[in-house]
Chain A
Amino acid sequence: MHAVEMLSFSQTYCELNYFHSQTTFVVDEITTVIKEAVESTIGNSSYQHSQINQWMSSIVESSLSQLTKLGKPFKYIVTCIILQKNGAGLHTASSCFWDNSTDGKTYCKTGQAFHISFFFFNAKRTKSKHNREIAFNETDFCFSTGSCKVRWENKTIYCIVSVFGLAI
């Protein structure tokens, strides 16, 4: 009797772990996806005004489609900021009203002439409404605690990528 109980317990535990990893916001995974999208599009290019629209669309769309392919029960919002590097400063900040245990965000900054921020939301249903009242604040450009950042330098372009996740 005990052996059977132990077995079913450990099986359930494994399933729960798997479920958990499939339904939470895994920062590293997402960072990889974003980095790949950015590098494959911009590569070693210099800032070119005529190409910006196309670059931006392609980065944002490809990262969003890669994120959705992960198949997690998440809603995503991807924002992209592109900035030409000419010595000017840029600061981004975000403030969120969500559930800290299920939602998250990450940033990627690559140092080209682009700042690209991706926010994605995993809006997950939680059993209790009380968990919702968690505000998440953070500021950027050089990225606060709790975020994931990737830096990448080049001569003419700044690229900052930040990703937010909201679970459904």
Chain B
Amino acid sequence: MDAGASAYLIRPNYKDKFKAVLAKECIGEILREQLYGAQYDPEEAPALSRALADSIKKKIVVFSDVGFDRYKLVVQVVVGEQRGEGVKMAARCFWDADTDSYAQDIFMNDSLFCVAAAFGVYYY
């Protein structure tokens, strides 16, 4: 059996796994770039959150050289106004813990807060 021939992997190699640290850096960079000095504006917030989600997704997909090729990706961004309200965000997943992972980052300034989470799910 020729192992070198095109074998269809049903598990990622160790180096091809979803790297949470890299994804977190991507997210952090985008949030800092786009939200630095931003004020919460209810008119713009929907478009802003959508733009953030898109750019984070693009960045992760492009940035990952080879590894994330087999990964499906979901990015969720939450932008909220800072008014002293209580906020909590949690996530639970039903997936394959060997292959799937997530990354998240938070940005806060005086007028808004932003939480972004990216989930990578391996495509068998």
Contacts and interface: CB of A to CB of B under 8 A. Distances in A.
Given A97-B61, A139-B49, A168-B124, A77 B91 contact: yes
Interface in A83-107: 83-99, 103
A68 B48 CA distance: 34
A98 B85 contact: no
A73 to B, nearest CB: 10
A99 B48 CA distance: 25
A97 B124 contact: no
B90 interface: yes
Interface residues of A, number: 55
A108 interface: no
Interface in B68-112: 72-96, 100, 102
Contacts of B83: 86-88
A103 B90 CA distance: 22
Nearest to B74: A96
B34 to A, nearest CB: 13
Contacts of B73: 96-98
Contacts of A95: 50, 53-54, 56-57, 74-75, 77
A95 B58 CA distance: 9
A119 interface: yes
Interface string A115-157: 0010111010100000010010111110000000000000000
A138 B80 contact: no
B78 A98 contact: no
B97 to A, nearest CB: 11
B45 interface: yes
A135 B57 contact: yes
Given A90-B80, A96-B57, A56 B88 contact: yes
Nearest to B75: A95
16 contacts: A78-B91, A88-B80, A88-B83, A90-B79, A90-B87, A91-B48, A91-B49, A96-B72, A97-B57, A98-B72, A119-B74, A119-B91, A123-B72, A139-B46, A139-B47, A139-B49
Interface of A: 47, 49, 52-53, 56-57, 60-61, 64, 67-68, 74-99, 103, 113, 117, 119-121, 123, 125, 132, 135, 137-141, 164, 166, 168
Interface of B: 40, 42, 45-50, 52-54, 56-57, 61, 72-96, 100, 102, 117, 119, 121-124
